[in-house]
Amino acid sequence: MTSLVSLPAVERLPYDIARIRRDFPILKREFDSGARLVYLDNAATSQRPVQVLAELTRFYRDHNANIHRGVHTLSVEATDLYEKARAKVARFIGAADPREIVFTRNTTESINLVAHGWARKFLKPGDEVVISEIEHHSNIVPWQMLRDERGITLKYIPMLPDGTLDMEAALTTITERTRLVAVTAMSNALGTIVPLDLIVARAKAVGAFVLVDGAQSVPHLPVDVQALGIDFLAFSGHKMLAPFGIGVLWGRLPVLESMDPFLGGGDMILTVSMARSTWAEVPAKFEAGTPNVGDAVALGAAVDYLSALGMDAVREHEREITDYALRRLADVPGVSIFGVPDADQRGGVISFDLEGVHPHDIGQVLDTKGVAIRTGHHCAQPVMLALNVPATARASFYIYNTTDEVDALASGLEEVGRFFGRK
């Protein structure tokens, strides 16, 4: 693997929303109706700036080759770019060593890697895994499968009516038999910011490992894995300005070294004979086959972009937009907002309904106005069951959204109400 040098700090830029929006050509798109795109589905996926698109094109135009295999110039260049992207990601989340960064396809694969490579190796019947009621399906289904296969006990921290976790229940749910706590840092359905410090403290008090689903937090909040004191962090590139198909699992190096491989094949081996095989060192042990080199390089460019803005500035911008949206939507007749009313306790995600109108109808009418939101259960059906609703409409914000776009959402909802007969 190519040796890495330390990378210089990225110069922070002033948060200029007009300049930022110029970096996203898709935001200028106009539809046949004459409406201009108002993109409020960022919890599903973000848009990509020209800097990331250019880096992706540059890789395939100038450096395209397979990595870790060749001694020719293109292979060496591609390997260097891939490993520099790994180092950028490590620095972005405060990892102690770039080797702690494993490239995957997405958050889902990262969590499954932990379930297969760590949990299947170390957990036995009766051991407890604790999740929460506000998890994305990606952090529920793998543990249910493990429960059914291995006989572990799966428990969950319940959600309170305001969308926060019942932290008193958490203290009794996490017990001396708990081996792993797997919890989101931010709910994708409600935007709830989870008090990880309290959960981690309780987990460590009983000797449990902690996996954090950072799909919604890493793109939006400052993250330092060493300060958090966790063992695993999973997140996706496509929610933080990078292309689809590239994700990250961070794990503490000794933990990763103790795990079994997830997939077998090329590049994850040290030796192969017809009798047996031995494994490469971390992280290669978990990156079988030809990896997604171009998209990893583009993820590095996305990290550069966010680092230049500063994640504190990103969080503050989204907090201001969310606070404005909470107040603005509360004035729309018939709208009910789910979750905590305080923007300090939630990320840039607002789930809501409009009395008498199905969320899918809300989404379709808003689309005629150019306003893109998400409707459905958001891969969080337990949240919908707890709220006693089949689905919600969800608006989610990112670095390029403005209060004018929130106004467009509110005006669109007023029109939805009139269309369906609300006065």
Specify the pairing of strand 371-372 against strand 38-39. parallel
Q: Kindly state whether residues 201 and 273 are assigned to the same domain.
A: yes
Residue 371 has pLDDT above 80, yes or no: yes
- Which pLDDT score is estimated for 8? 45
- What's the rounded Cα separation, in Å, for the pair 337 and 233? 30
Residue range 372-412, pLDDT digits in tens: 999 999 999 999 999 999 999 999 999 999 999 999 999 99
Task: Pick the last residue of a domain from 308, 332, 359.
Answer: 308
Tell whether 294 and 398 lie within a shared domain: no
Contact partners, residue 173, CB within 8 Å, separation at least 6: 130, 155, 156, 157
Is 9 inside any structural domain? Answer: no
- Domain limit, last residue, from 308, 328, 356: 308
In tens, the pLDDT along 170-191 reads 999 999 999 999 999 999 999 9
Alpha-carbon distance of 169 to 420, in angstroms, equals: 42
Contact 129, 152 (CB under 8 A): yes
| Residues 259 and 396 grouped into a single domain | no
The structural domain count of the chain equals: 2
How far is 95 from 224, CA to CA, in rounded Å?
Answer: 7
Q: How far apart are CA 364 and CA 354, in angstroms?
A: 13
Q: If you compute the radius of gyration of the chain from its CA atoms, what whole number of angstroms results? A: 22
Sheet containing 178-184: which strands, arranged edge to edge?
101-104, 247-251, 232-236, 209-213, 178-184, 128-132, 153-157
Whether the pLDDT of residue 14 is over 80: the answer is no
Strand stretches in 242-357, DSSP E: 247-251, 269-272, 277-279, 335-338, 349-354
Residue 318, domain CATH: 3.90.1150.10
**Model's pTM, two decimal places?**
0.95
Of 253, 283, 308, at which residue does a domain stop?
Answer: 308
Per-residue pLDDT at 5: 36
223 pLDDT exceeds 70? Answer: yes
| Pairing verdict, β 209-213 and 232-236 | parallel
Domain that holds residue 362: 17-43+310-419
261, part of any domain: yes
Same domain, 187 and 218: yes
Same domain? For 413 and 329 the reply is yes
Tracing tokens 């009418």 back to the chain, one arrives at: 365
> Which of 263, 379, 386, 389 is the catalytic position?
379
Is 409 within a domain? Answer: yes
Same domain, 361 and 257: no
Predicted local distance difference test score (pLDDT) of residue 69: 86
Determine the Cα–Cα distance for residues 356 and 193; give it in Å rounded to an integer. 29
| Over residues 107-132, mean pLDDT | 98
**Residues 35, 20: Cα–Cα separation, whole Å:** 21
Q: Give tens-digit pLDDT for 51-102.
A: 999 999 999 999 999 999 889 999 999 999 999 999 999 999 999 999 999 9
Residue 379 bears catalytic tag: yes
Residue 287 and residue 325 in one domain? no
204 contact partners, CB below 8 Å, separation of at least 6: 210, 229
